[in-house]
Amino acid sequence: MTSAYVGRFAPSPTGLLHAGSLVAALASWLDARANHGRWLVRIEDIDGPRNVAGAAEGILEQLAACGLVADESPLRQSARTALYEAALARLQASGLAYACGCSRRDLELAVAPEAGRARHAELVYPGTCRGGLNGKAERSFRLRTDLVRPGAPGDPVVWTDRRLGPRSEDVATSVGDFVLRRADGVWAYQLAVVVDDADQGVSDIVRGEDLAGNTARQILLQHALRLPTPRYLHTPLVLAASGEKLSKQTGARPLELSRPLDALRAAGGVLGLPAEGTTLAEWLAAGVAAWRERWPLA
Ligand SMILES: [Zn+2]
């Protein structure tokens, strides 16, 4: 027997759920129910300026209309900054985090003076401030990716996604020492997610494939903080007509929930589930059984 299953859905309250975000919500709920686990909802509202008033409440109403109700009252990250503060302090005390005084302009100059670099490409931080701020003012905090080693020295982070299969990423060369707290004081998504998942005992992360690229950084942070690594399953994305991921930016409209069963059927279709069931409860029960067959835990 594995340890207790705890899953979660963690929306940012930047708008209401649309057809794409319902897929991730439904998948995490189905996986929790299929494994007789608990299902939590966490509102990821640390990036204050991006929050939309009323969106968190609206999302919870949308979930409830679909029969997806959390087993505990939802947590809000904005109320949990003391935990992130403590995690950063632990990393600093063990020499794994440091203050960085580089501005975006400093980074651009340090990283890629050569011509032809894509204008909005991710900058790989070259570790400029590892040895100290050199008179610059403290702006952000970063992780020493060169010192955190989940495997043998020099090995990349390796893990197996339940849907995407074996994955591997050398974070030190793909993104470098990534930010834990931003220059504007906002906690980085990576740190908050890792701290909260561990604090809530989350055993299984089921989320959209657009977030798969964060996994290696989060696993590295789990190692740095000596926290367990959950299992991961990244769900297919719903694409907009343009071929891009469906999002508010690509024209996704909030879910119309006068007919929640239709919304669930559409989300289930993306996940390869059959459309059986004429009521919400029937469809969800059939969905759990179909999910269990399709995505068994190893
Ligand atoms: Zn720096």
Listed by start position, the domains of the chain span: 6-79+196-294, 81-181
Flag whether pLDDT at 117 surpasses 70. Answer: no
In DSSP terms, 76 is beta-bridged to: 43
Spatial contact of 202 and 8, defined as CB atoms under 8 Å apart: yes
Of 246 and 4, more confident: 4
Q: What is the pLDDT at residue 3?
A: 64
Per DSSP (E only), the strands in 236-272 are none
Q: What is the pLDDT at residue 115?
A: 42
**Which protein residues have their CB within 5 A of the ion that is ligand 1?**
100, 102, 128-129
Q: What is the pLDDT at residue 168?
A: 96
How many Å lie between the centroid of ligand 1 and the Cα of residue 102?
A: 4
How many Å lie between the centroid of ligand 1 and the Cα of residue 196?
A: 27
Q: Comparing 6-79+196-294 with 81-181, is the CATH topology the same?
A: no
Q: CATH code for 6-79+196-294?
A: 3.40.50.620
Query: Domain 81-181, CATH 3.90.800.10 — does that match?
Result: yes
- Cβ burial of 155 (10 Å; 0-12, 13-18, 19+) is exposed
- pTM: predicted TM-score of the whole model, two decimal places: 0.92
Flag whether pLDDT at 7 surpasses 80. Answer: yes
Spatial contact of 56 and 15, defined as CB atoms under 8 Å apart: no
Give tens-digit pLDDT for 32-53.
999 999 999 999 999 988 999 9
How many Å lie between the centroid of ligand 1 and the Cα of residue 256?
A: 46
How many Å lie between the centroid of ligand 1 and the Cα of residue 217?
A: 18
- Closest of 28, 27, 52, 54 to residue 269, by C-alpha: 27
